[in-house]
Amino acid sequence: MSTQVVQSRGIFHGLPVFSENVKGLTAVITGANGISGQHMLRVLLQSPERWTKIICISRRLPIMKDGAVPGVVEHIALDFLDTPQAIANVLRERGVKADYVFFFSYVQVDPEPGAPIWSNAKELCHVNTLLLSNFLESLALVSIKPRRFMLQTGAKHYGGQFGSNLAPQEESDPRVLLEPNFYYDQEDCLWAYCKKHDMKWNVIRPAFILGAVPDAAMNVCFPLAVYASVCRHLGQPLDFPYDLTAWDMSVTQSSALLNSYLEEWAVLTDGAANEAFNASDDGIFTWSKFWPLLASWYGLDYIRPDDKGKYEDLILPHNPPPRGYGPPGKIRYKFSLTEWAKQPEVAQAWKDIAQQKDLSVKELHDVDRIFGFTDFAMSVSWPGASLSMAKARKLGWHGYVDSNESVREVLLDFEKLGMIPHAPALTQSDAPANTANSLTEGYAPEWLELEKTLGTRPLLTGTVEEMQGQFAALSAVLSASKTPPDDFIKSKDVTADGIPVRIYKPKDASRTKLPIMVYYHGGGFVLGNLDTEDAWCRYLAKTTPSIVVSVDYRLGPKFKMPVMLEDSLTAFKWVYANAETLGGTKSRIFTAGTSAGGSLALLVTDALIQEGKNSHVKGVITAVPITAHPLSIPEEYKSQYTSYERNGSGVPIADASTLNTFFEAAGCKYDDPMTFVTLSQNLSQFPPTYISTCGKDPLRDDGRVLEAMLKREGVKTKSDNYIGQPHCFWLFPNVNGEEFLANVVKGAQWVVLNSE
C-alpha cells in the first residue's frame, strides 16, 4: 500500500507535496502575460526554493499581484512569429537556460465578420503551429534541452465544438477530423521534435479556463461580470440567454491556478512523462446552480430558461456529429451575450459605470472575441466538455476546487485589477459563496441596518383585521420619524362627486398653470387613507412641481372590485372637469400611485382609453404597481415573472401571502382586466409611463412585465429598479429613500416632457 501527502492552498485542495530535494530549478514560461501563463507564474512563485529562476517570454510584461516582478523573474520580449534564428539570437544574448518549459503562447486569428470565433481553422493551424515550431527550432539552435516540455492545448481536442462527442472525454479518444485543428498539428510538431532530440513532453488539455488577467479574451468570467454589472446598473434581471438543456448541462470548468498546479505536478512526476492529461476542477458545474449564485453576488434577480419560451435554433453543420451518430448539434437561444454587448444602451451603460468607478476598461471593445467565448461556454447543450480526470488520478493527482468558489475569487481578482466594479456581496462573508443566509442575502445593507434598529422585519401578515392593526402601528412609527408638514404646500380636503380627496398646491401656484397629478394611495385595496401618504404627496407637489389630488377610494373587505376603480375614475373625471378652478389645466393631467394605487392609476388610464378619452390623461407615474396576477401572466412573459417565487415568503412589508389575502378581501379576480392591467387590450394606446420596482418585492416583475408589454406596443416608458430593497422601502427613514424620491421626480418630469 502506498501513501501520499497532499495539501490545501485556500480554496484549492488535494495538491501535491514535493520532496525538499527538488530545488534550484529554472523554468521558462511562454505566453506569460496570458491567462494561463500568469497563473503558472503565480504557482511557481509559491515555491522559491524549488524554482529559483523563472524566465517569462511574452510580448508584454506579465502583471504581478503586487504590481512588481520579483527578483527571481526575468522577462524577455519575443515574438514567436519571428524566425527561429532571430529568436535564438535573443535567447543566446540573454543566456537563457531551461530545466522545464511551460508553453502557453497562442494567437487568436480573427474570423470572418459574423462567423464563430474559431471558424478560421486553417489560419489558426498555420499561425499557432508556427509559434511552437519556431520556438522549438530556436531551442535547438542554442542547445537548450529541457528535462520536460509542457504544451497546453485544450478541450477542443475532443471536437465538442462541433456537436455531440464521446463522453466523458478521455485522453485516448480518437482525433476528430471534421475540420483542421491546430492542437493536433502542435502535438505532432512537439512529438516529432522530442523524438528527434530525445526530450520528454507533456500535453495538458483544460476546458473553459477561469482566471483574471488584463487581456479578457478566452475568459468566461469577465463577460459574465460585465453582464451582471450592466444589469445592476440598468435595474434589469440576469436573464439566461440559452435554453433549459444548456441550463442543466454539466460543463467542465478548469481554473487557471489548478491547471498550473497540475502542470507543475506533471513535469515533476517521472511516471507522467510523455503523457497527455485533461485538466479540470474535478467537480460538477451547471449553469442552473451557478446562475442564481451569480445573481446574488450582484444583488440581482434572474430569469431562468422556459421550455415554452421563444428561442432561435442554430443547427451546427456537421451531420453526424463528432461521435459518428445522432443528430447534429443544436443551440437554442433568446439572444447572445455578444449581440447584447453591442447594443448602444449596453455600451453607454458600461461607459457610465467605468467613469463612475474609474475602471481600466473604459469601453467594451473587441466584443466578438471577448464575449463569443462565453457564449459558447453557456450554449452547449451536449456533454461536449466533460473531461475525465481518471488518468491523472491513477498516477497520483488529486487536485480539486469548487468551480463556483473559483469564479468568485476570479471576480475579486478582476476587481483588484480595476476592470470591473465592486460587487459587495462577493466579500460580505468568508463563508463559501453558496451558503449565504437567505434571510439577509441580496438585501441592501441600509435596509438590514434598519431592521437591526427596529429589532424586527416589518411584515403585514395574518387576517385582514390583523394586518389593519399592524398597518396602524407601523404608520404610527413612521409618522413619528417624519418632519412636520412644509409650509410651502397648502392642502385642503374636499369631496369630488362624493369621493373624499385632498388637494395639495404650492403656495405660489397661482403664478402659472401647473400640471395636475391625480394620486392613488397604496394598501392592497384594503388599507390606507388620505393620511397614509400625506408627506409623500406634499413632497411630490413641491418638487415636481404640480397640483396633487389624493383620492380616498373605498376599500375591501367591505367593498369589492371594481368599486375601487369606479371611485378612482369618478375622482379623475371631477379633477378633469374642475382643472382650471384647481389652478391647473386640462392639457396636463396625469395619474399616479403606489402599489395598489399604482394599479388604479393604470386602470383609470385604461378605462379612459376605453371611453375614447385618451387625451384626458397625459401620462402615468407608478411606484411598485400591482399589474398582474400570477395565475394570468401572458404566456410569452411567464419565464420573466419569477418575483412571486423568488420573493414569495418572508420578505418585508408584503409577501405573496399578504398579497393573496388582499386580493381575496378586495374581490380581485385573477382573470379580470379591470383589476390587472396586463390583461388590457388597450396597452398600445397608453401615454408615456414611468415605473419603479424593488428587487426584494414580489411585485417586482409586475412592473417589469408591464414595461416589456408597453415597449412592445411602442409606448414610451422609463423605469428605475432598486436592487436589494423591499416594497415601499422609501417610506422608512435612513434607507436611501432620497435616491428614490429624486428618481420619481425625474420620472414625473420625464412623463410631462414626453406628453407634450
Please list the active-site residues.
Answer: 595, 697, 727
Residue 613 in grid coordinates = 378619452
Cell numbers for 184: 493536433
Give the C-alpha separation, 53 to 25, whole Å: 7
Overall residue count recorded for the chain in this entry: 756
- Asked if the bond preceding 562 is cis, omega within 30° of 0, the reply is yes
With 0-12 / 13-18 / 19 or more C-beta atoms within 10 angstroms meaning exposed / middle / buried, residue 611 is: exposed
What are the Cα distances from residue 73, in Å, to 41, 151, 260, 418, 486? 9, 21, 17, 24, 68
DSSP type of residue 624: S
State how far the Cα of 136 lies from the Cα of 207, in Å rounded to an integer: 25
Sheet containing 148-152: which strands, arranged edge to edge?
73-76, 51-57, 25-30, 100-103, 148-152, 200-206, 275-279
b/e burial code for range 507-533 (CB count within 10 A of at least 16 → b): eebeeebbbbbbbbbbbbbbbbbbebb
Amino acid of residue 338: T
Q: Which three cell numbers stand for residue 374?
A: 462565453
Would you say 540 and 592 are in contact if contact means Cβ atoms under 8 Å apart?
Answer: yes
Of 123, 45, 117, nearest in space to 377 by CA: 117
Beta strands in 697-738 (DSSP E): 717-726
Choose among 393, 370, 408: nearest CA to 285. Answer: 408
C-beta separation of 645 from 303 below 8 A: no
Q: For residue 19, what are the contacts with CB-CB under 8 A and spacing of at least 6?
A: none
- Going by C-alpha positions, the residue among 524, 564, 581, 590 that lies closest to residue 674 is 564
User: Closest Cα to residue 704, out of 154, 180, 234, 8?
Assistant: 234
User: DSSP strand E in 555-646: where?
Assistant: 584-594, 619-623
Q: What are phi and psi of 106, to 5 degrees?
A: -160, 145
Q: Are 524 and 598 in contact (CB under 8 A)?
A: no
User: Residue 98 contacts by C-beta under 8 Å, 6 or more apart in sequence?
Assistant: 26, 27, 28, 55, 139, 144, 146
**How many Å apart are CA 538 and CA 489, to the nearest integer?**
6
Let me know: does 104 contact 29? Beta carbons within 8 Å: yes
Contact 694, 667 (CB under 8 A): no
Which amino acid belongs to residue 119? S
